[in-house]
Amino acid sequence: MWRKPEEAKPSSKPAEKREPASSAVSTSADSTSAVHALVSNFASTPQPSAPENSPEKDEPSVAAESSPSHISSGLKIRGEITGTSDLLIDGDIQGKIQMRGCKLTVGPTGRVKSDIEAREIHILGRVDGNLKAAESVAIGNSGRLEGSVVTRRISIDDGARLRGKVEMIRVESSAPAKSEDSPKHVAAASAATAPADSNSSLAVPSVAAAAAAAASSGGPSPADKEKA
Amino acid sequence: MNWSAKLRPAGPPLSPGPASKAKPSPTPAAAAAAPASASANVRSSNGLKEFLWLLSDAEHPRILDLGNVSQATLNFFINKGFRISTEDILRSWKEFIASEEDSLRRMPPGQESAKVSQASLAEKFLKDGVNYPAENFNGVLVWDLLDYLDSELMPRLMDRLYDILRPGGAVLAMFHSRTPDRYHRYRVHDDHSIEMIPAPTIAVHARSFQNREILDLFGKFRSSKAFVARDQLREALFLK
């Protein structure tokens, strides 16, 4: 007989306390539950009253300084978005996104029609626009991108869609922030590209597994985006 | 550029790109891909070898991959100093047709115009699809897509490919001599081999070209070269 693990009991108060720490309330759809689970992991800030042997204490506090924000499905935003916090988009965005030094995830239900600039960009939904990532771009199996990519590393899952140009940032020094700020470092050749396997997993495999099918229909032509 | 004008240097190794000359040792990514050589789907490709050789003179050649996007292919070309663009044209075409049919279905009865034809659909598709500046690319990877594309779209696509290729640019295409067992995706394995990955069918095999038909299809191109493998998959290179 299966026994329910003790950790799963609802009596664990630290887990309940963590939820308000998230900067945005997520009324999640089923398809995005894995995404929200991931976000809540990142959003968890250590509670002062947490017991010393709590497993959460050993986790790296990635979001201790900047907890990820969440634009949930059903929200539509038109306009520029800038910030210094990681961002998860499950809604509909039209407008430039500049999140330098941050990680941006477009969830399975997310749709972005704009250029994106961030440290890391993960696409599980649909993006029509050019991407510039100082560190990496990952397109999950449900992800669809129409636009050019400029980054240091790229990871593309089977089933992902990419329509556009790919350019890799040459890494000449160990300071990636510099290469982001200076366009002259942008070049085709790169020694630090992504793993060769086309089935390489995303940094967020649980999200990729939970991803729903990408939406279809056309977008602006790659030529237009190259001009932009 | 043509084959007579460009004599291959003696010796087996090819020098397919400017970056590869500076990096003789394999990258970690390439080393990681090496165990895949045991895969039965890997096949030797003289067409790819020749394609790389033809583009080896260009500095940071630009290529367009019209097949499924593959990270291995991206990595391969990027590591060699290429600039690569991708566009999964077969899937885009299928989605376009599906959306057109859907919009026709939603029209009130009597308004679904008799103007809709395969030719007009192909024209409409190419307004946005494969829409790049003229003479933008040094090479185009077509794989075996022409076996699957609509007969109205195909000649228009060839015109478009001719336009976006630079003079001396090359097209690598493949043609099945008989109906293949199943649909495959292609990805570059190394300098002289490709991997055929069985994939869910997104289109039925429409035709098996005769050699003369292939030459007619690429009539605008000034030079061609073909290779026939033991599995009867023909690889053809065409130069602008």
Q: Measured between alpha carbons, how far apart are the two ends of chain A, in Å?
A: 61
A131 lies within 8 A of chain B by CB: no
pLDDT tens, residue by residue, B146-170:
999 988 999 999 999 999 999 999 9
Q: Measured between alpha carbons, how far apart are the two ends of chain B, in Å?
A: 8
Q: Which residue has the tokens 């829409």?
A: B131
Question: Is A193 close to B92, i.e. CB distance below 8 A?
Answer: no
B5, B65 contact by CB (below 8 A): no
A71 lies within 8 A of chain B by CB: no
Question: Is A196 close to B84, i.e. CB distance below 8 A?
Answer: no
Looking at beta carbons, which residues of chain B come within 8 Å of A214?
A: none
pLDDT tens, residue by residue, B97-126:
999 888 888 877 776 665 678 888 999 999
Is pLDDT at A46 greater than 50 in this prediction?
A: no
Contacts of B219 (CB under 8 A, 6+ apart): none
Q: What is the pLDDT of residue A65?
A: 52
Question: Is B71 close to A221, i.e. CB distance below 8 A?
Answer: no
Contacts of A108 (CB under 8 A, 6+ apart): A31, A32, A35, A90, A124, A125, A142, A207, A210, A211, A212, A214
Q: What confidence category does residue A210 fall into, taking pLDDT thresholds of 50, 70 and 90? A: very low
The DSSP secondary-structure symbol of B208 reads -
Q: Which residues of A132-166 are buried (b: 16+ CB within 10 A; e: fewer)?
A: bbbbbbbbbbbbbbbbbbbbbbbbbbbbbbbbbbb
User: What are the start-end ranges of the H helices in chain B?
Assistant: 18-22, 28-33, 46-55, 71-79, 89-105, 118-128, 153-164, 211-217
Average pLDDT for residues B207-211, to the nearest whole number?
Answer: 89
Within chain A, what is the greatest distance between any pair of CA atoms? 63
Q: What confidence category does residue B232 fall into, taking pLDDT thresholds of 50, 70 and 90? A: confident
Region at B130 (left for phi over 0; alpha for psi -120 to 50; beta for the rest)? left
All structural domains of chain B, each given as residue ranges with its CATH number in brackets, are 29-107+114-239 (3.40.50.150)
Provide the residue type at A182 as one letter: S
Contacts of B173 (CB under 8 A, 6+ apart): B142, B143, B144, B145, B146, B214, B235, B236, B237, B238
Residue B70: closest C-alpha in chain A:
A198
Q: What is the pLDDT of residue A41?
A: 41
Looking at beta carbons, which residues of chain A come within 8 Å of B71?
A: 154-156, 194-198, 200
pLDDT tens, residue by residue, A126-173:
999 999 999 999 999 999 999 999 998 889 888 888 999 998 876 654
**Is A176 or B6 the better-scoring residue by pLDDT?**
B6
Query: Cα dihedral angle (B116, B118, B123, B125), rounded to 10 degrees?
Result: 100
Residue B124: C-alpha distances to residues A48, A126, B117, B203 (Å)? 62, 23, 11, 20
| Cα B140 from Cα B63, distance rounded (Å) | 5
**What does DSSP say about strands A81-82 and B233-239: parallel, antiparallel, or unpaired?**
unpaired
**What does DSSP say about strands A144-146 and A161-168: parallel, antiparallel, or unpaired?**
parallel
Q: What is the pLDDT of residue A66?
A: 56
Q: What is the pLDDT of residue A68?
A: 80
Query: Cα dihedral angle (B124, B125, B129, B132), rounded to 10 degrees?
Result: -30
- In this structure, the number of other CB atoms found within 10 A of the CB of residue B117 comes to 11
Nearest-CA distance from B190 to chain A in Å? 11
**Is B197 or B40 the better-scoring residue by pLDDT?**
B197
Residue A141: closest C-alpha in chain B:
B69
Residue percentage of chain B with pLDDT more than 90:
39
Give the residue from B75, B94, B121 with the most A CB atoms within 10 Å of its CB, the best one to mutate. B75
Is pLDDT at A110 greater than 70 in this prediction?
A: yes
Q: What is the pLDDT of residue B146?
A: 92
Domain ranges of chain A: 28-45+62-212
B102 lies within 8 A of chain A by CB: no
pLDDT tens, residue by residue, B43-84:
889 999 999 999 988 888 999 999 988 889 998 998 888 999
| Cα B94 from Cα A47, distance rounded (Å) | 52
A154 lies within 8 A of chain B by CB: yes
| Cα A39 from Cα A222, distance rounded (Å) | 32
Average pLDDT for residues A62-71, to the nearest whole number?
Answer: 66
Q: According to the per-residue pLDDT averaged within each range, which of A10-24, B35-49, B151-165 is highest? A: B151-165
The DSSP secondary-structure symbol of A211 reads P
B79 lies within 8 A of chain A by CB: yes
Residue percentage of chain B with pLDDT more than 70:
81
Q: What confidence category does residue B6 fall into, taking pLDDT thresholds of 50, 70 and 90? A: low
| Cα B42 from Cα B45, distance rounded (Å) | 9
Stretch (H or E) spanning A17: helix A13-18
Long-range contacts at A62-69 (CB < 8 A, ≥ 24 apart): A66/A102, A67/A21, A67/A22, A67/A23, A67/A42, A67/A43, A68/A23, A68/A39, A68/A42, A68/A43, A68/A103, A69/A23, A69/A24
A169 lies within 8 A of chain B by CB: no
Tokens of A188: 């085709």
Q: What is the pLDDT of residue B182?
A: 87
Give the residue from B37, B39, B70, B71 with the most A CB atoms within 10 Å of its CB, the best one to mutate. B71
Contacts of A60 (CB under 8 A, 6+ apart): none
pLDDT, mean over chain B: 82
Nearest-CA distance from A16 to chain B in Å? 41
SS3 A186: strand
Question: Is A189 close to B81, i.e. CB distance below 8 A?
Answer: yes
Is pLDDT at A53 greater than 70 in this prediction?
A: no
Measure CB to CB from residue B96 to each of A156, A218, A221 and give the nearest one: A218
B47, B237 contact by CB (below 8 A): yes
Nearest-CA distance from B117 to chain A in Å? 20
Average pLDDT for residues B87-102, to the nearest whole number?
Answer: 90
pTM: 0.67
Could you report the predicted ipTM of this complex, rounded to two decimals? 0.72
